[in-house]
Amino acid sequence: IGFPAVGAVIAARRPENPIGWIFVAASLTLTLAVAGSEYATRVLVERVDRLPGAVWAGWLSSSLWPLGIGLLAVVTPLLFPTGRPPSPRWRPILWLAVTGIAVVVVALALLPGPLDDGFYPVDNPVGLEGAGDLLGLIIVGSGILLGFCLLAALTSLFVRLRRARGEERQQLRWFVYAMAVAGLGIGTGILTAAWSDAVSAAAWYVGGFGLAAMPVAAGVAILKYRLYDIDVVISKTVVFG
């Protein structure tokens, strides 16, 4: 709800800034992926209903995840808050990220064999038989490339934060703060899953709060509306933690 709502406001008030359009596109993509996954699981895995198109819903869900996540996790940090990379030398990273995302989506859509690594008991309806090994290598290679682009994108945020002054620095600090809360919560949730369900669940809630705060922080920063001093927020977070 947060990403499409804030994205629509940014796109309406700052149409020249691609961040708003990225938020809308990524959220719609992830919504389709989640809806397709639930639909296919209900029909193909749980066998609760007999509904049409379940195989195609599973295929769509399996292919769309990298697009939505890549737009939010890799492309957004490279463009925030101005809608442009920090400098021209960062543009190759942006194009590598976009290319890697597109290649992964296409390769997953054409990968033969059981859908979603065997989660759905059906084969890919458009899988290219005989090209599985090649497509698998392409997916792994593109995943490594996107991992590099993600590290570069996060580095660009901190480089920009270090060099920024005044209002731009305040804009960046809000967004970086939300990303840090999301990353810390989700990372802790994954690492503690085998140790304690309660701790893992609590950490995931913290990560979810950080994810929800990201579009809000971006909206506040880009629209430049009441940029409150974030030092107070950070200090209270540390004390509460």
Q: What is the pLDDT of residue 94?
A: 93
| Placement of tokens 């808050």 in the chain | 81
What pTM does this model have? 0.81
User: What's the mean pLDDT in 172-198?
Assistant: 84
pLDDT digits (tens, 9 = 90+) for 17-39: 899 999 999 999 999 999 999 99
Q: What is the pLDDT of residue 139?
A: 93
Which two structure tokens, joined as six digits, stand for 196? Answer: 């304690």
239 pLDDT band, cuts 50/70/90, is low
Cis peptide before 52 (omega within 30 of 0): no
Longest dimension (CA), the chain: 59
What's the Cα-to-Cα distance from 145 to each of 74, 84, 102, 114, 116, rounded to whole Å? Answer: 11, 21, 12, 25, 21
| Placement of tokens 């085998």 in the chain | 194
